[in-house]
Structure 1
Amino acid sequence: MDYGPYLLIAAAAAFLLFLLVESRVKDPLVQLSMFRQRNFSAASATNLLVGFCLAIGLVSAPLLVNIRAESPTSEHIQKAAFIAGLLLSGLTIPMALAAIPGGWLSERYGYRVPTTLGLGLAMLGFLLAGLIWEGDTSYWLMASQMAMIGIGLGLTISPIGTAVLNDVNEGERGVASALILILRLIGMTVAISSLTVFSLERLDALIERHGPQVETTTETGEVVDASIDAYFNGAVQVIKELQFIGAAMSGAGLLVALLLKGGQFSQVPQTVKRIQSESGP
């Protein structure tokens, strides 16, 4: 029996119940009124999509490396793990370093510019990966696209975090800072779960449609080789399609990020403006 739909319904009901309780209690865990602030909502939604894209980047390259392993021996598996680690460092290290210029750009040009620039760069990286990656693509070429994605996502870290914290009251900043991490992790979790289902079903569909046409007189070894080739090519195709999904999610995040406003260092934070307007002249 498939419990998936029932679990999704239960999760949705629990989430709605959480929102109902939070809107009624005196001291909620999350002050829902924070989401009425434009920058807070836009940055939070963008952060969710950044987490989704990050999960695709973290999963895709190791998958492609592992299916390219010459054989399932310990030596080749260790070699594949080493290469996958190097490729992942090509994503994570540039991402961490790009957070610094992301902060500089945010101070000079506001939240919107580095966030949209970063997501545009990530979208380009995903598109190139989807178009270029094949079963025999050079690891150096893959690393260049991973770095592009990492730099793009890294540019969004500082402006998103600053936009969230500057758009809430001082007493809400602790929860707001936690939500930055939580929403990114939720985006990653949703990506892993949903794309796992998509990938498995898509692979089965590709094998059924383009699987090997084997004659009854074909030798067993040839049948095995044909099946391996079919699954390999199908897996590569699915990984390529994941990159296009990453590009689409980056584009969606870019559109949401266009709603961000302000953020230049010379500007007064939104919380200060609200306090000044409430206190009067």
Structure 2
Amino acid sequence: MTTTATPVAAALGAAPARSRSLAAVLIAVGVPMFMVTLDNLVVTTALPVIRQSLGASLTDLSWFVNAYTLPFAALLLTAAAIGDRIGRRRLFVAGIALFTLASAACALATEPWMLTAARAVQGVGGAMVMPLSLTLLAAAVPERMRNAAIGIWGGISGLGVAVGPVVGGAVAEGLDWTWIFWLNVPIGVLAIVLVRAVLTESHGGRGKLDPLGLVLVSTGMFGLIWGVVHGSDDGWTSLSVLGTLIGGAVLLAAFVGWERRSPAPMLPPQLFRSRAFSAVNVVAFLFSAGVFGSVFLLAQFFQVVQGLGPFGSGVRTLPWTAAPMVVAPLAGLLVGRVGSRVLIVSGQVLLAAGLLWLALSSAVDVGFGSLVPAFVLAGIGMGLTFAPLSTVALASVSESEQGVASGTMNMVREFGVAVGVAALASVFASQGSYGTPSSYVDGLVPAVLVGAAVVGVAALVGLLLPGRRHYLTAPNSGH
């Protein structure tokens, strides 16, 4: 293998002959990722309008969300591994095209089952876009600019999180719900043109595909996530939930055993010998479970408890959800100076403090002004977390393994979201209900307290991350 002064280009197969501005690269990788992130959340606040338009049942409404989430989370690692073999840009473009076509199918749906099926295809396309977006970015920018670029990438991801509830709320209060999906079509076409014009092809490991590994990890993750998503509704001891949880766990155990023997493993076991890689994935899981499980309940607080509409509720969450847009790029700039461990631990501490504040302040008659400082605190914590998590995941593995590292962390994060929502919803249901504003608060407070505790554990695990000199010398070796 070539060991010159440009190991990134050699390892990733990048062609440095064409000069590409950082802005062009960020737009090329960021626009598709923004679409995927936006559609993960935008449907939730538009569900009332969709229900009336399609005559959907409550079960249909849950599947409009879960049909996207399940394949998206289950196929992230698989997509990253396939992209490493056949070409990251090639699969990225295919994912954008599939997502765009599925968006048009969503908009054209006239029956609930049509929207559910189209959302599932959207999830497959999203799984092809999300992990490769970060890997292609890392391959396309100079090493000296990588941390800042990852920070901006994290800010774009935060923008999708922030705009999703607001856009969905606006649609729910009078716009045609199909525009949620129609808007993706011209954006997707433009994104394909940009990607082909700006990004060069890159590959990861040159080994053969691992078909058995692909099947085991995909079906195993699907089973685990399906069981977790349906646990609170169907009952954790029901045959369907227990069966899929146990089946998923068995398949993932078989996947681990196979990867130890496979001549061309899709997830090399030696990656987890890295303390940084192992710890950052644990932090990613705990962070996602505690935060997004809490967000799921807090996002409904203004509607259920204070009687606001979806749009007004979405706007009131902006002090939280918009903060990462500003803070994440700054965190990317600071990574090289203070190290990821400081930023990640600080982010988890601020998040835990913000969630604790929100839990203790939540009441039927609480004023919005009393919650704003807690929202801002939590938003800053999220912004300090996004970019450094990605930085550690990429820097703790070899250049050729960055694709699978990105896919693994994104898969772990999505699984954390599913576990957090299910677990905190169960805590909520055991202490409160949707019946009255006061009963909702009765369930919200203990659930968010649990979320704060989970994020506090993430802060402790973050202390196990190596210091900046251990894993940040390579990305900054160019200066």
Quickly name the TM-score band, shorter chain normalised: 0.7 to 0.9
Q: Distance in 1 between matches of 2:457 and 2:423?
A: 17
Candidates 121, 124, 136, aligned match of 2:353:
124
1:1-281 equivalences under 5 Å are 2-3=238-239, 4-70=241-307, 79-203=308-432, 231-263=436-468, 268-269=473-474
- What RMSD over aligned residues (CA atoms) do the two structures have, in Å? 2.5
Q: TM-score, normalised by structure 2?
A: 0.47
SS of equivalent residue, structure 2 residue 467: coil
Q: Quote how far apart the aligned CAs of 1:268 are.
A: 2.2
Q: 1:266 to 1:28 in 2, by over 3 A?
A: closer
Q: Distance in 1 between matches of 2:293 and 2:441?
A: 14
Q: Quote how far apart the aligned CAs of 1:37 are.
A: 0.1
Q: Distance in 2 between matches of 1:169 and 1:191?
A: 31
Q: Distance in 1 between matches of 2:364 and 2:473?
A: 52
Q: How many residues align?
A: 240
What one-letter code is carried by the residue in structure 2 that aligns with 1:177? S
Greater relative contact order (Cα < 8 A, sep 6+): 1
Q: 1:266 to 1:192 in 2, by over 3 A?
A: closer
Q: Which runs of 5+ in 1 are unaligned?
A: 71-78, 205-226, 273-281
Q: Distance in 1 between matches of 2:295 and 2:384?
A: 17
Q: Quote how far apart the aligned CAs of 1:51 are.
A: 1.1
Give deviations 1:27-69, integer Å, cap 9, x for gaps. 2221221111011111111111121133134312222112125
> Does structure 1 retain, via aligned residues, the 8 Å contact 2:305–2:440?
no
Q: Which runs of 5+ in 2 are unaligned?
A: 1-236
What one-letter code is carried by the residue in structure 2 that aligns with 1:134? A
Q: Distance in 1 between matches of 2:468 and 2:355?
A: 28
What one-letter code is carried by the residue in structure 1 that aligns with 2:276? N
> Does structure 1 retain, via aligned residues, the 8 Å contact 2:305–2:438?
no
Q: Quote how far apart the aligned CAs of 1:265 are.
A: 11
Q: Which has the larger radius of gyration?
A: 1
Q: TM-score, normalised by structure 1?
A: 0.77
